[in-house]
Chain A
Amino acid sequence: MGREQLGELEHQVLLAVLRQEAEQAYTAPVVMELEERTGRSTTASAVYVVLRRLEEKGLLTSEMRDAPAGEGGRARRHFEVTAEGRERLLEARDAYVRLWEGLDEVLEGG
C-alpha cells in the first residue's frame, strides 16, 4: 500500500461524518454521533484535531455555511468526506473484514 493507514479515531470520525446529513455535518453532531455509536465518551478537542488532520490529508473538506433559516445560531463549518476519503474507508473496512474472517467462533466459543 505504501501510505499511512487510518488511525482508529480517524476511521471513526470519517464514518460519523458520513452518517450526518448535509446540514448536520458540523462538529457538535459528529461528536454526539461518535459517543452514541461507540458507547464511549469523546472529547471535543480530540475530534477537532482529527477533523483538521483529515482535512490536511485531503480526506475531508470543509466550508463555512450559514445556519439554516429558522434555526438561529451563527455560521458554522460543515464537513464532507472527499472521494479519496471514501476510498480509504473502503480499503480499511476490507482489511478488517479479511482479518476477522473465521474468528467469530474463536471469540464466542470458550
Chain B
Amino acid sequence: MRELLLGMLRRVLPADWASDIVRDLEEAHGRREREVGRFRADLWLSAQAFEFAGRFGLERVGDLFGPSAGAGFLGAAARDVRHALRSLGRSPLFLTAVALTLAAGLGANAAVFAVVRNLLLEPLPYPSPEELVVLQPNPWSPADVTVGLRRAGTGLQTVEAFYPRRFVVSGEEEPWAVEGAVVSPGFLRTLGAETALGRGFTEDDGRAGARVAILGHDVWQRRYGSSPHVLGRTIRLDGVPHAIVGVTEADFRQLTPGSGEPELWTAGVLDRLGAGMLHAESPPWAIPVARLDPRAPPERAGAALQDAIARHLEENPEVVETTRWDVRWTPLRDHLQEGIRHPLLLLQGAAAILLLLACVNVANLYLIRLLSRRQEVAVRATMGASRGRLLRHLLTESVVLGIVGGLAALAVMHLSLNFILAVAPPELTRLEGTSIDAPVSLIVMGVSVGVGALFGIAPALIVTAGPPGRILKERGRTSTASRGRHLVGQALVVGQVTLTLVLVVGAGLLFRSFHSLSGQEPGFRTEDVLVLPMLASVRRYASVPDLGRYQSRLVARLSAVPGVESVGLANHVPIDRRRATRLYVVEGEDAPRQAQYGVVSAGYFRTLEIPLVAGRGFRERDDRDAPRVAVVDEAMGRAAWPGRDPIGKRFRLHDEGGWIRVVGVTASIRGSGLGHDPEPGFHLPITQRPDLPIDLAVGREMVLMVRTRSGLPGMGDALRGAVWEIDPDQPVPEVTPMEGVLARTTSPQRFRAVLLGAFAFVALLLAVTGIYGVVGYQLQERIHEIGIRRALGARDRHTVGRVLLWGLRLAAVGVAFGLVGVVWAGRFLEGLLFAVTPADGATLAGGVALVLAATVGACLIPAYRATRVDHIMSIRSQ
C-alpha cells in the first residue's frame, strides 16, 4: 500500500522535488506506524498522498497556462484558467462536493444507460431484424397450421420454427450436455447465420432419417479445438448418431430471453406431431419464427394467421380445449425483451431522477458559494473589473469544475457498471456484452461541462448584477434582492426533498416486495438441507441397473454420515423456473394435460418434509417388476379428478403406453418459483425409471438432498468425503444449502431492489448535502437576527429549535410534493411488486420519516453553530 501510493506520487510530483517529498512522507509514515499502528498510518498516508497529488497536480496544470502565456484572447483564457484553478484549490470542500455530486449523478446514469442500450436499444444481430416475428404466446402445438402459412399471400416471406432442448452428446469420452435446438431447415438461414465451416441445412436434411447437426462456433472451439476435421464426424445426440455438417460463424448467436442460448442445431421434421420428446425428429411443439414480407401490408400476416387457425379448428374440432388459440405474431425484439424491458426502463428512470437531483445539488452549491463571494466580487468590481470580465472568470471556474466532475463521473461510471454486473441475476447473460465505449465517455464529459456552465451562468448573473457599492453596504441586512435569492435556494431544497422521497419510497417498495417474496413458503423444508447436484459417469455406470445400484449405495452411505437425518435423490431441484413438464392423459379421457414432474427416490418426500395428505409415498418394493405407481400433488388431483379421490386412479404419459396408478397425494409445492402459485405436478419412483440407453437415463444427472441436524458445521466436507468413499472419481462440484438455491430464484427481484436502494441512498446523501448547505448559508445571512435573539435571552435550545423548525418546514413542503410524485410514479412499479401495492401506507410513512430524519441530521451542525454565535459579535457585524 505504501509503495503503491508513493510510486503514484513520484509520477505526479515535479521531478526535482519528488524524491524529497516521498522520502519525507516515508519517514513520517514509519514514525506514525510505530506510534499508532499500521492501519492508521496508512490512512494518514493516503490522505497526505491525495493532498499532495491534488495540490501539485493543480499547480502543474496551472503552470501550463503560466504567466508567460501571451496577451490576447488565448492569454486571457489561460489566465482565467489559472485563476480558476487557484480559486478552486482554495475551496477543496466545495470542489469535492461538486465533483462527487456530478460523478454520482452522471456516472450512475451512464452505467445504467450502457446496460439499457445493450439490452434494449441495440438492433438485433440479424439482417433486417425488424421483419422477424415470433408467434406468441408460445410454445404451440399444431405445427401444421404454421407450416401451412408458407404460402403466398400470407404476408410472410418464410415461416420457420425451432424447438429448444438440451442434448446429451456422447460417443467420445465422458458425455457432455449442451443447450441446442431442433430447427426447420430454413431457420438458421432466416436468421442470417453464415457458416464458418461446412454448410447450412438443406430441405433434404429436414426429412425423417437424415441426421445432421451444426455446431456453434464457441462449442467448436471449446470442445474440438477449432479443428477442421470435425466435419463429417459422427456424434451421438441422445444416443442417436448425427453427422456434423457445419459450424456457424463466430458472431452468430441465437438470442433467447434469459439464458440457455442454443449452441448446437439439428434439422427436424416439423410438419407432423409425433412420437415422444426424446426423439429429435418430431417434437410435440415448436416455436414458430417468421419473416414478414416487407411488400405486404402489415396486417396481412395477422389476418392470414387467424384464417389458418379458423380453418384448422373447423377440421379438428376436438383440439379446441387443449390448446391456446389467442396467438399472434409479435416482433422478435419484443419477445426477447419481455420481462426485462419494464424493470430496466424503471431503473433508467430512477437514474434520471438521480441525475436531476445531482443537477439541483450542483446548482445549490454554486449558488451558495457565489452568494458568499458577493463581497469579493463587489470589491473586484469597484477596483475596475467589468461585468463581462467577472462573468468570464466565474464561467471559467464552472467549466473547469465541470471537467473535474466529468473525470470523476467517468471513474464512477466504470465502478457502477462493475457493481451492476456483480449483482445482476444470472439469467441476464446478455449483460456481459455491455461495455462503455468512447462515444458514451465523450457524452458524459460533455454533459458534465455543460451542466457546469449552465449552473454557473445563473448564479453568476445574479451575483454580478447591481452596482457593487450597494452590495458592499448590504452586509447582514436582508433586502428584497437577497430574499429573492433565499427563495431560489429554498426552492432548490424543496425540489431535492421531493425527488429524494420518490426514490426512497420506490426503493422501499421494491425491498418490501423482495422481502415478501423471499418469505413465501415454498412448500418444502429449506433449513438444514444441503443440495449436491452430480453427474454420474457413463463409463463406470454403463447401464440403468448399474446406475441404480450406485445411487442406492450413495443414499445408504450418505445416510450413515453422523448428523444426517434423511437423504433424498431426484432428477431435479424442487424449485426451478424451468421445471420439466410432461403431457399426461387421464384414463377415460383423450386430451392430454400438462403437469410438472419429477423422478425421485423413496426418501425424497421425507427429506424435504413434503406432507403426504393421502395414501403413501414410494417404497423399495416399487421396482421395475412391480406395477407402475405415481404420487401426485393436490393441485394435479384437483385438475385431473375434480371432486374425487385420486388414490387408485390411473393415467399414462402421453408418449408412452403403460398405465400408472396413483398411490399417494402430497401437498403442492411452488415448483416454478416463490412468486408463482403451485402448479399441478406428479412424481415417479426412480426405481421404476424406463430402461433407456445410459446417456439418456433419467437421473444420470441427479440431485442429492441431505437433511442434517441443525447447526452442524463442516457437513459439506463430510458429505463429499462419503461420496468419495463410494466413488473417488465422482466430481461433486458444489454443496449448496437449499436456502441458497431458493435465493437464486429471487435474484431478479433482489437485483432491482439493491440497485434502486443504491440510488435512493445516494439521493439521500445528496439531499442532506443540499439541505446542509442552504440552511448553513441562510444562518450566516441571519447571524444578525440570531445574535439579537440571543442577546434578548434566547436559550440554546430555542436557537436549535428554530433552526430545526426552519429546515423541517422546507422538508415538509418537499414531502408534500414528493407524495404527489410517489403516487404518479407508482404506476410504473405496478407489475414488479409482490404482495405490496404502490400506495402502501407503511412504506410511505417510512420513507417520509427517513427523509425528515435526514433533514434533522442535516440541520444539526448549522444549528449547533448557531448556538455558538456570540451575540455581541453578531450584532456588531453590521
Distance in Å: Cβ of B353 to nearest Cβ of chain A = 38
**Complex interface bits, B167-203 against A, C-beta within 8 A gives 1, otherwise 0:** 0000000000000000000000000000000000000
> Is A44 interfacial (CB 8 A cutoff)?
yes
Within 8 A of B (CB), among A39-95: 43-46, 48-49, 52, 73-74, 76-77
Distance in Å: Cβ of B574 to nearest Cβ of chain A = 62
**Complex interface bits, A1-44 against B, C-beta within 8 A gives 1, otherwise 0:** 00000000000000000000000000110000000000000011
> Is B27 interfacial (CB 8 A cutoff)?
yes
Q: Which of A43, A45, A73, A77 contacts B20 (CB 8 A)?
A: A77
Q: Are B56 and A76 in contact (CB under 8 A)?
A: no
Q: Are B55 and A49 in contact (CB under 8 A)?
A: yes
**Please, which residues of chain B bring their CB within 8 A of the CB of A77?**
17, 20
Q: Report the separation of the CA atoms of residues A49 and B51 in the bound assembly, to the nearest whole angstrom.
A: 11
Q: Are B24 and A28 in contact (CB under 8 A)?
A: yes
Q: Report the separation of the CA atoms of residues A74 and B48 in the bound assembly, to the nearest whole angstrom.
A: 21
Q: Are B23 and A48 in contact (CB under 8 A)?
A: no
Within 8 A of A (CB), among B20-35: 20-21, 23-24, 27-28
Q: Report the separation of the CA atoms of residues A48 and B49 in the bound assembly, to the nearest whole angstrom.
A: 13
Distance in Å: Cβ of A35 to nearest Cβ of chain B = 15
Q: Which of A46, A48, A73 contacts B17 (CB 8 A)?
A: A48
Q: Which of A44, A73, A76 contacts B48 (CB 8 A)?
A: A44
Q: Are B27 and A48 in contact (CB under 8 A)?
A: no
> Is B37 interfacial (CB 8 A cutoff)?
no
Measured CB to CB, the nearest residue on chain B to A52 is B17
Q: Which of A27, A43, A44, A49 contacts B59 (CB 8 A)?
A: A49
Of the candidates B20, B23, B55, the one having the most CB atoms from chain A within 10 angstroms of its own CB is B20
**Please, which residues of chain A bring their CB within 8 A of the CB of B56?**
45, 48-49
Q: Are B52 and A52 in contact (CB under 8 A)?
A: no
> Is B14 interfacial (CB 8 A cutoff)?
yes
Measured CB to CB, the nearest residue on chain A to B51 is A45
Query: Chain B: how many interface residues by the 8 Å CB criterion?
Result: 15
Q: Are B55 and A74 in contact (CB under 8 A)?
A: no
**Please, which residues of chain A bring their CB within 8 A of the CB of B27?**
73-74
**Please, which residues of chain A bring their CB within 8 A of the CB of B51?**
43, 45
Q: Report the separation of the CA atoms of residues A44 and B20 in the bound assembly, to the nearest whole angstrom.
A: 13
Q: Are B14 and A46 in contact (CB under 8 A)?
A: no
Q: Are A27 and B48 in contact (CB under 8 A)?
A: no
Query: Chain A: how many interface residues by the 8 Å CB criterion?
Result: 13
Q: Report the separation of the CA atoms of residues A52 and B60 in the bound assembly, to the nearest whole angstrom.
A: 12
**Please, which residues of chain A bring their CB within 8 A of the CB of B20?**
27, 76-77
Measured CB to CB, the nearest residue on chain A to B24 is A27
**Please, which residues of chain B bring their CB within 8 A of the CB of A73?**
27
Q: Which of B14, B23, B28 contacts A52 (CB 8 A)?
A: B14
Measured CB to CB, the nearest residue on chain B to A77 is B20
Q: Report the separation of the CA atoms of residues A49 and B89 in the bound assembly, to the nearest whole angstrom.
A: 12
Distance in Å: Cβ of B691 to nearest Cβ of chain A = 80
Q: Are B21 and A74 in contact (CB under 8 A)?
A: no
Measured CB to CB, the nearest residue on chain B to A53 is B59
Measured CB to CB, the nearest residue on chain A to B27 is A73
Q: Are B55 and A45 in contact (CB under 8 A)?
A: yes
Q: Are A46 and B55 in contact (CB under 8 A)?
A: yes
Distance in Å: Cβ of A20 to nearest Cβ of chain B = 16
Q: Tally of A-B residue pairs with Cβ under 8 A?
A: 34
Known: A28-B24, A74-B23. A48 touches B52 (CB 8 A): yes
Distance in Å: Cβ of A107 to nearest Cβ of chain B = 13
Q: Report the separation of the CA atoms of residues A52 and B55 in the bound assembly, to the nearest whole angstrom.
A: 12
Q: Are B48 and A45 in contact (CB under 8 A)?
A: yes
**Please, which residues of chain B bring their CB within 8 A of the CB of A48?**
17, 21, 52, 55-56
Distance in Å: Cβ of A31 to nearest Cβ of chain B = 10
Q: Report the separation of the CA atoms of residues A43 and B56 in the bound assembly, to the nearest whole angstrom.
A: 13
**Please, which residues of chain A bring their CB within 8 A of the CB of B48?**
44-45
Known: A28-B24, A77-B20. A45 touches B52 (CB 8 A): yes
Q: Report the separation of the CA atoms of residues A37 and B775 in the bound assembly, to the nearest whole angstrom.
A: 35
**Please, which residues of chain B bring their CB within 8 A of the CB of A74?**
23, 27
**Please, which residues of chain A bring their CB within 8 A of the CB of B17?**
48, 52, 77
Q: Report the separation of the CA atoms of residues A28 and B14 in the bound assembly, to the nearest whole angstrom.
A: 19
**Please, which residues of chain A bring their CB within 8 A of the CB of B28?**
28
**Please, which residues of chain A bring their CB within 8 A of the CB of B52?**
44-45, 48
Measured CB to CB, the nearest residue on chain A to B25 is A44
Q: Report the separation of the CA atoms of residues A76 and B55 in the bound assembly, to the nearest whole angstrom.
A: 22
Q: Report the separation of the CA atoms of residues A51 and B713 in the bound assembly, to the nearest whole angstrom.
A: 62
Q: Report the separation of the CA atoms of residues A76 and B22 in the bound assembly, to the nearest whole angstrom.
A: 11
Of the candidates A44, A46, A76, the one having the most CB atoms from chain B within 10 angstroms of its own CB is A44
Distance in Å: Cβ of B59 to nearest Cβ of chain A = 6
Q: Report the separation of the CA atoms of residues A56 and B422 in the bound assembly, to the nearest whole angstrom.
A: 50
**Complex interface bits, B199-236 against A, C-beta within 8 A gives 1, otherwise 0:** 00000000000000000000000000000000000000
**Complex interface bits, B40-64 against A, C-beta within 8 A gives 1, otherwise 0:** 0000000010011011100100000
Distance in Å: Cβ of B51 to nearest Cβ of chain A = 4
Distance in Å: Cβ of B823 to nearest Cβ of chain A = 50
Q: Report the separation of the CA atoms of residues A3 and B269 in the bound assembly, to the nearest whole angstrom.
A: 94
Q: Report the separation of the CA atoms of residues A28 and B23 in the bound assembly, to the nearest whole angstrom.
A: 12
Q: Report the separation of the CA atoms of residues A73 and B59 in the bound assembly, to the nearest whole angstrom.
A: 29
Q: Report the separation of the CA atoms of residues A27 and B19 in the bound assembly, to the nearest whole angstrom.
A: 13
Q: Report the separation of the CA atoms of residues A89 and B104 in the bound assembly, to the nearest whole angstrom.
A: 46
**Please, which residues of chain A bring their CB within 8 A of the CB of B23?**
74, 76
**Please, which residues of chain B bring their CB within 8 A of the CB of A76?**
20, 23-24
Distance in Å: Cβ of B276 to nearest Cβ of chain A = 77
**Please, which residues of chain B bring their CB within 8 A of the CB of A46?**
55
Measured CB to CB, the nearest residue on chain A to B21 is A48
Distance in Å: Cβ of A72 to nearest Cβ of chain B = 10
Distance in Å: Cβ of B360 to nearest Cβ of chain A = 32
**Please, which residues of chain B bring their CB within 8 A of the CB of A52?**
14, 17, 59
Q: Report the separation of the CA atoms of residues A27 and B593 in the bound assembly, to the nearest whole angstrom.
A: 87
Of the candidates B28, B54, B55, the one having the most CB atoms from chain A within 10 angstroms of its own CB is B55
Within 8 A of A (CB), among B659-707: none
Q: Report the separation of the CA atoms of residues A28 and B26 in the bound assembly, to the nearest whole angstrom.
A: 13
**Please, which residues of chain B bring their CB within 8 A of the CB of A28?**
24, 28
Q: Report the separation of the CA atoms of residues A52 and B59 in the bound assembly, to the nearest whole angstrom.
A: 11
**Please, which residues of chain A bring their CB within 8 A of the CB of B21?**
48
**Complex interface bits, B489-501 against A, C-beta within 8 A gives 1, otherwise 0:** 0000000000000
**Please, which residues of chain A bring their CB within 8 A of the CB of B24?**
27-28, 44, 76
Distance in Å: Cβ of A1 to nearest Cβ of chain B = 16
Q: Report the separation of the CA atoms of residues A28 and B27 in the bound assembly, to the nearest whole angstrom.
A: 11
Q: Report the separation of the CA atoms of residues A45 and B21 in the bound assembly, to the nearest whole angstrom.
A: 9
**Please, which residues of chain B bring their CB within 8 A of the CB of A44?**
24, 48, 52
Q: Report the separation of the CA atoms of residues A43 and B51 in the bound assembly, to the nearest whole angstrom.
A: 9
Of the candidates B14, B23, B54, the one having the most CB atoms from chain A within 10 angstroms of its own CB is B23
**Please, which residues of chain B bring their CB within 8 A of the CB of A45?**
48, 51-52, 54-56
Q: Report the separation of the CA atoms of residues A49 and B86 in the bound assembly, to the nearest whole angstrom.
A: 12
Of the candidates A28, A45, A73, the one having the most CB atoms from chain B within 10 angstroms of its own CB is A45
Q: Report the separation of the CA atoms of residues A44 and B48 in the bound assembly, to the nearest whole angstrom.
A: 8
Distance in Å: Cβ of A47 to nearest Cβ of chain B = 10
Q: Report the separation of the CA atoms of residues A48 and B56 in the bound assembly, to the nearest whole angstrom.
A: 9
Q: Report the separation of the CA atoms of residues A9 and B52 in the bound assembly, to the nearest whole angstrom.
A: 17
**Please, which residues of chain B bring their CB within 8 A of the CB of A43?**
51
Measured CB to CB, the nearest residue on chain B to A64 is B20
Measured CB to CB, the nearest residue on chain A to B17 is A52
Distance in Å: Cβ of A52 to nearest Cβ of chain B = 6
**Please, which residues of chain A bring their CB within 8 A of the CB of B55?**
45-46, 48-49
Measured CB to CB, the nearest residue on chain B to A51 is B17
Distance in Å: Cβ of A14 to nearest Cβ of chain B = 18
Give me 16 A-to-B residue pairs in the complex whose CB atoms sit less than 8 angstroms apart, sorted by A's number: A27-B24, A28-B24, A43-B51, A44-B48, A45-B48, A45-B52, A48-B21, A48-B52, A48-B55, A49-B55, A49-B56, A49-B59, A74-B23, A76-B20, A76-B24, A77-B20
User: 6 other contacts beyond A45-B54, A52-B14, A74-B27, with CB at 8 A cut-off?
Assistant: A44-B24, A44-B48, A45-B52, A48-B21, A49-B55, A49-B59
Closest 9 CB pairs of A and B: A45-B51, A45-B52, A45-B55, A77-B20, A49-B55, A74-B23, A49-B59, A27-B24, A48-B21
A positions within 8 Å CB-CB of B: 27-28, 43-46, 48-49, 52, 73-74, 76-77
